[in-house]
Amino acid sequence: MIKGRSNLFVIVFLLALQAGLPVLANDRANKLNDEGVAAMKKGQFKRAMEKFEGALRIDEQCPGAAENLIAGCNQGTGKLSFEEQLRYRHLALKYSPRDKANIENIIRLGDVFRVRDQNAEAISEYRLALTTAEDSIKGETGIKLGAALIATGDIKSGLDAFEKALSYRPISKDVKEALHENLEGLLLQDPGNKQAQDILAKVKNLTDPAP
């Protein structure tokens, strides 16, 4: 009988301990997040980002940590290196996948790679953004992806990306014009490309694109 009570006590103790662990973890995460906010207010962006990252690794749902990570990227422009911006925006996307401003900034990082003629890296950024972006920005991003793929010599995949861009709604005037320009440029180099001809015909048949 005593043995049974002892085992029951141990079980209850372990359950209580396990129940308390998330609370302790949440406390540590919140503390790191608060320390990050304090560091950011002092302009210590690298330290702040490390704190926010630490908070999210302990508790993915830590209130405000993902948003603070994005805010740190936005406010830390010029104080965080391009590589740090890249890393932390990727991390923010993991914890806050629907943040439109962060997605748009990932697309801009892809644009920077394009300007640098680092098309493989640009392709990676555009594809990452497309995984969670709203349809309203997928069309333009798809065109950028297609152009980057074509620049690497992967014409077929680039044209597939252009065709995919046509599937997103609404299709804006800018998207239509960008597709038209890219396709005509490709056809100047490869006039017999049937896929490019077919996509261009679809683009020309679009009516009343969104402004």
pLDDT of residue 164: 93
Model confidence at 175, in pLDDT bands (50, 70, 90)?
confident
- In percent, how much of the chain has pLDDT > 70? 86
Average pLDDT, the chain: 85
Question: Where residue 206 falls among pLDDT bands split at 50, 70, 90?
Answer: confident
Q: pTM for the complete prediction?
A: 0.76
What tens digit of pLDDT does each residue of 107-148 get? 999 999 999 999 999 999 999 999 988 888 999 999 999 999
The stretch 175-203 carries a mean pLDDT of 93
Measured on CA atoms in the order 76, 80, 82, 87, is the torsion positive or negative? negative
How much is the pLDDT for 49? 94
User: Looking at the predicted structure, is the pLDDT value of residue 4 above 60?
Assistant: no
Confidence tier at 27 by pLDDT (50, 70, 90): confident
Cα-to-chain-centroid distance, residue 158 = 21
Cβ atoms of 86 and 109 within 8 Å: the answer is: yes
Residue 10's pLDDT is what? 46
pLDDT category of residue 13 using cuts at 50, 70 and 90: very low
The better pLDDT of the pair 38, 169 is held by 38
Considering only 3-17, 59-73, 171-185, which range has the smallest mean pLDDT? 3-17
Show the CA angle centred on residue 97, arms to residues 39 and 68, nearest 5°. Answer: 15
DSSP calls for 57-121 = HH-TT-TTHHHHHHHHHHHTBTTB-HHHHHHHHHHHHHH-TT-HHHHHHHHHHHHHHHHTT-HHH
Q: How is residue 123 written in tokens?
A: 């392709």
pLDDT tens column, 152-168: 999 999 999 999 998 88
Chain segment 51-102, per-residue pLDDT in tens: 999 999 998 888 899 999 999 988 988 889 989 999 999 998 888 888 888 8
The reported pLDDT for the residue numbered 119 is: 96
Reading phi first (left if > 0) and then psi (alpha if -120 to 50, else beta), residue 97 is in alpha
Q: How confident is the model over 19-23, as a mean pLDDT?
A: 49
Predicted local confidence at residue 198, as pLDDT: 95
